[in-house]
Chains A and B, each alone.
Chain A
Amino acid sequence: TQLLEQSPQFLSIQEGENLTVYCNSSSVFSSLQWYRQEPGEGPVLLVTVVTGGEVKKLKRLTFQFGDARKDSSLHITAAQPGDTGLYLCAETSGSRLTFGEGTQLTVNP
C-alpha cells in the first residue's frame, strides 16, 4: 500500500481567496480520486484523474495530475463558505480505496 501525503493538513482562508492543496505519493498512481467530506456526511467523489498531465475542471475547482502520475493538486478559485470540508485524495488498488490524511479547509465569510 503506497503512502499518500496531503498538504497542507489544515487551511483557513477568507471568502474570495484562492487556494491549492496537494497530494503526493512515493510511487506511481494507477488512478487518483479527489473526495470532499462535510461534517456528519460520507465522502463525495469530485473527480477521477487517470492520465499523466491531465487537467479537469469542475466549476471553480481545477484538478491536475502530474506528468509522472505521482502527484496531484486541487485548486479552488474564489473560495466560498460552502467549500468548507475535508478534502481527501485516494487511490484505488483492486477493491481497495486508500485515502490520504486529508486537508481540512475552512472558508470564513
Chain B
Amino acid sequence: DTEVTQTPKHLVMGMTNKKSLKCEQHMGHRAMYWYKQKAKKPPELMFVYSYEKLSINESVPSRFSPECPNSSLLNLHLHALQPEDSALYLCASSHAGLEETQYFGPGTRLLVL
C-alpha cells in the first residue's frame, strides 16, 4: 500500500466553525507533513511530525492546530479561519530521516466563507 488518504475531499466552513482534516498512511512511514497550496502556486510546508512529535512549525497561525495521534494518522484542527485560508491542504508522509521521498495525498479543498 503506497497510498496516503485524506478526508474530506472538499470542505466548506464559516469563520466561526471548528473542523478537522484527516490524513492516514499505512506505509510504515514515521514522518508526516502538512502543506498548504494556493491556486497556481507550489505547496508550502506548514508542519512536520517525526515519530509522532512535532519537529517543524513554519510559523503557522494558531488557528491551525496539528495532531498526530499515532504513527499512521495526522490531523489538522481548524478554528476561526479566515477567507484567505481557503486553499488545498496536502498531507504527505515519508520514512523518517533526511531527504527521504515524500508521498502526497490528494488533498482537501477548503473554502472558508
Contacts and interface: CB of A to CB of B under 8 A. Distances in A.
A103 to B, nearest CB: 11
A95 B42 contact: no
Contact of A30 (B40, B42, B99): B99
Interface stretch (A38-46, A54-62, A64-72, A75-83): A38-46
A96 B56 contact: yes
B interface residue count range (under 10 / 10 to 19 / 20 to 34 / 35 or more): 20 to 34
A93 B98 CA distance: 7
Contact of A44 (B42, B99, B104): B104
B31 A95 contact: yes
Contacts, number: 56
Instruction: Give the one of A33, A42, A104 with max B CB within 10 A.
Output: A42
Interface residues of A, number: 24
Interface of B: 4, 31, 33, 40-43, 45, 48, 50, 55-56, 90-92, 98-107, 109
Interface of A: 30-31, 33, 40-45, 48, 88, 90, 92-102, 104
Given A42-B104, A95-B48, A100-B42, 10 more contacts: A30-B99, A42-B92, A42-B106, A42-B107, A43-B104, A48-B101, A92-B99, A92-B100, A95-B31, A104-B40
